[in-house]
């Protein structure tokens, strides 16, 4: 069937590409979550709110995480086993990952006092929303488990997916806690910003849910349950996740907001970013004094001085060197750990993230 999937929502069989089928699936899932689930008419107002929350917060990203489920499954199963039901469930699980991402970002934006996300105002910044967005994010998270129960309950991989989503959520929240504790607002302590601490934050806050979760979901759906196989995949995917976050940190400072869809605030927010950690490794005592005076400050002058410091330290050059080294390291990890898994599962993911600009 190549990279097409039948859209089961139409009586006529239409062949769609995976991204098209993925987009079409979203409306079906939103309808299932908001129109068919609860019989109490008194909840109509709340369910309309849930529909608005999902439509505003879930589908606006690049969807790499969600699409990686069906993409990985195509590499792991022969075409004869890719039934319509299997493909539709892969699309659904992909959207569950996008919902998990939306849940994290809605809460993260409140904690960081962010202004924009994906080219539009953060959900909590919309008129009449404010801190109600905390409960709205809980609704998005709960929706994941409603979908998994309704659509996967009879599948042999159902419990594996429940445990995987639960564990990944816990890991991500631990990473977020470490990130918040490492860089509390208005408490500038650059001694906390070590590469070891940074890599731990990245591993737990980003790499597990962004890279391991989509591929591990596809592996369980394909019947691959052994700890050894999952640990092999994890070695490769956590390396990829580390690079992705370092790239994100670089784009926060050097990316074009018109392209990235968000205005970078890592310097103002006193974030333990790769740029500041790497800069601390190579700067002079005098430069560190400038950084201590300006990092984590909200005024434009302080932010500009930190950026000048980064440029003087040639941070873009250091970053591009790191990017090349990371890609070479990834190739070695794939050769070493993916002996019984298709290399294409990992290479397809890598192609989407290396050299990206948003």
Active-site annotation holds for 186 = no
Active-site annotation holds for 288 = no
Active-site annotation holds for 103 = yes
Active-site hit among 3, 35, 36, 62 = 62
Active-site annotation holds for 205 = yes
Active-site hit among 18, 109, 136, 248 = 248
Active-site annotation holds for 249 = yes
Q: What angle do CA 20, 52, 169 make, to 5 degrees?
A: 75
Active-site hit among 18, 109, 179, 269 = 179
Active-site annotation holds for 62 = yes
Residue 6 φ/ψ, nearest 5 degrees: -75, 140
Active-site hit among 74, 117, 262, 278 = 117
Active-site hit among 22, 211, 244, 349 = 244
Both tokens assigned to 170: 């816990």
Nearest alpha-carbon partner for 57 in 93, 38, 35, 30: 30
Active-site hit among 49, 51, 108, 125 = 108
Active-site hit among 26, 103, 211, 346 = 103
Active-site annotation holds for 248 = yes
Active-site annotation holds for 244 = yes
Active-site hit among 18, 249, 252, 269 = 249
In angstroms, rounded to a whole number, what is the distance separating the alpha carbons of residues 276 and 264? 14
Active-site hit among 18, 109, 112, 252 = 112
Residues with a catalytic annotation lie at 62, 103, 108, 112, 117, 179, 205, 244, 248-249
């Amino acid at each position: 069937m190549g990279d097409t999937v039948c859209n089961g929502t139409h009586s006529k069989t239409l062949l769609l590409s995976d991204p098209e089928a993925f987009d079409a699936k979203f409306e079906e899932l939103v309808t299932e979550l908001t129109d068919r689930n609860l019989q109490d008419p008194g909840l109509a107002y709340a369910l309309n709110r849930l529909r608005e929350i999902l439509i505003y917060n879930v589908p606006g990203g690049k969807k790499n995480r969600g699409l990686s489920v069906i993409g990985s499954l195509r590499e792991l199963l022969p075409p004869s086993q890719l039934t319509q039901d299997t493909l539709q469930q892969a699309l659904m699980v992909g959207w569950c990952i996008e919902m998990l991402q939306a849940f994290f970002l809605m809460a993260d934006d409140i904690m960081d006092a962010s202004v924009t996300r994906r080219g539009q105002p953060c959900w909590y910044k919309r008129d009449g929303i404010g801190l109600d967005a905390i409960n709205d994010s809980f609704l998005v998270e709960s929706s994941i488990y409603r979908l998994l129960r309704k659509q996967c309950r009879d599948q042999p991989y159902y419990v594996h997916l429940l445990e995987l989503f639960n564990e990944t959520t816990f890991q991500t929240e631990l990473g977020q806690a470490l990130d918040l504790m490492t860089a509390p607002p208005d408490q500038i302590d650059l001694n906390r910003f070590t590469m070891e601490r940074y890599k731990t934050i990245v591993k737990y806050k980003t790499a597990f849910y962004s890279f391991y979760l989509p591929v591990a979901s596809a592996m369980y759906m394909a019947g691959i349950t052994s700890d050894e196989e999952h640990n092999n995949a994890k070695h490769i995917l956590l390396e990829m996740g580390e690079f992705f976050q370092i790239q994100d940190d670089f784009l926060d400072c050097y990316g074009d907001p018109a392209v990235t869809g968000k205005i970078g605030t890592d310097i103002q927010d006193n974030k333990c970013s790769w740029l500041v950690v790497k800069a601390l490794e190579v700067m002079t005592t005098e430069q560190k004094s400038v950084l201590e005076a300006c990092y984590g400050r909200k005024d434009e002058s302080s932010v500009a001085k930190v950026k000048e410091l980064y440029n003087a330290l040639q941070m873009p050059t250091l970053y591009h060197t790191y990017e090349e080294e990371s890609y070479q390291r990834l190739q070695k990890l794939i050769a070493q750990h993916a002996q019984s898994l298709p290399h294409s599962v990992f290479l397809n993911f890598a192609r989407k993230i290396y050299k990206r600009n948003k």
